[in-house]
């Protein structure tokens, strides 16, 4: 099995990597009890994508090699809801991610694109500012966007922006018909034109 890491390189997945990916800390501990584990450069990334916080913490405590900024990017780009407030808080406690105003807005855009309203809500509480408008989210992450997150953001005060025919065509060109329908249905309500 091959895994493409956050930088686009392909790696063969080892038994240890697979156990980390499937959040099986018991298998990791069992393997570790028999012999020292050989972590790879992707073990933590796979754990971030599919594992729980206890697995990530255990791997870090065992010296598993990682770049905490890469772990944050994997969490935020995962379509499986891997990024949760506790995981991002842990990443921050380990010195990972860009927590500047711009960095937090970028994380919020990622959360709106493929996270959950809970993650976006947490980032807002932590101080993340809204993007300039929702078209920024669409043009950045149109293939993975969750329409329900856009509605939540607008209801919470995120600027809707001007959904021009160009923005709608961009979304249609990327196969996101539901997003275009949603923008048309809500444009009059929120004061924009499609």
Residues 148-164: tens digit of each pLDDT: 788 888 889 888 777 77
Instruction: Please state, as a whole number, how many other Cβ atoms lie within 10 Å of the Cβ of residue 78.
Output: 17
> Which residue has better confidence, 98 or 173?
98
Is residue 47's pLDDT more than 90? yes
Provide the pLDDT for residue 193.
43
Tokens 């995981």 belong to residue: 87
Q: How confident is the model at residue 84 (pLDDT cuts 50, 70, 90)?
A: very high
Q: Where are the domains of the chain?
A: 8-97
Q: Give the model's confidence band at 141: pLDDT under 50 very low, under 70 low, under 90 confident, else very high.
A: low
Tens digits of per-residue pLDDT, 27-36? Answer: 888 888 888 8
Q: Which of 5, 137, 162 is nearest to 71 (CA)?
A: 5
CA atoms within 13 Å, Cβ hemisphere of 9: 7
């Amino acid at each position: 099995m091959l895994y493409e890491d956050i930088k686009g390189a392909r790696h063969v997945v080892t038994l240890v990597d697979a156990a980390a990916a499937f959040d099986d800390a018991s298998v990791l501990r069992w393997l570790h009890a028999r012999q020292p584990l050989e972590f790879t450069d992707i073990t933590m990334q796979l754990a971030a994508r599919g594992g729980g916080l206890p697995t990530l913490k255990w791997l870090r405590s065992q010296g598993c090699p990682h770049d905490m900024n890469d772990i944050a990017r994997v969490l935020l780009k995962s379509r499986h809801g891997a990024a949760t407030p506790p995981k991002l808080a842990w990443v921050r406690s380990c010195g990972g991610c860009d927590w500047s105003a711009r960095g937090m807005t970028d994380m919020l855009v990622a959360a709106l694109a493929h996270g959950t309203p809970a993650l976006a809500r947490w980032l807002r509480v932590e101080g993340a500012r809204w993007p300039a408008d929702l078209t920024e989210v669409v043009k950045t992450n149109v293939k993975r966007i969750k329409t329900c997150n856009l509605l939540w953001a607008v209801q919470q005060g995120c600027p809707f922006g001007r959904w021009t025919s160009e923005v709608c065509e961009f979304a249609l060109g990327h196969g996101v018909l539901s997003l275009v329908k949603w923008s048309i249905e809500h444009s009059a309500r929120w004061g924009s034109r499609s």
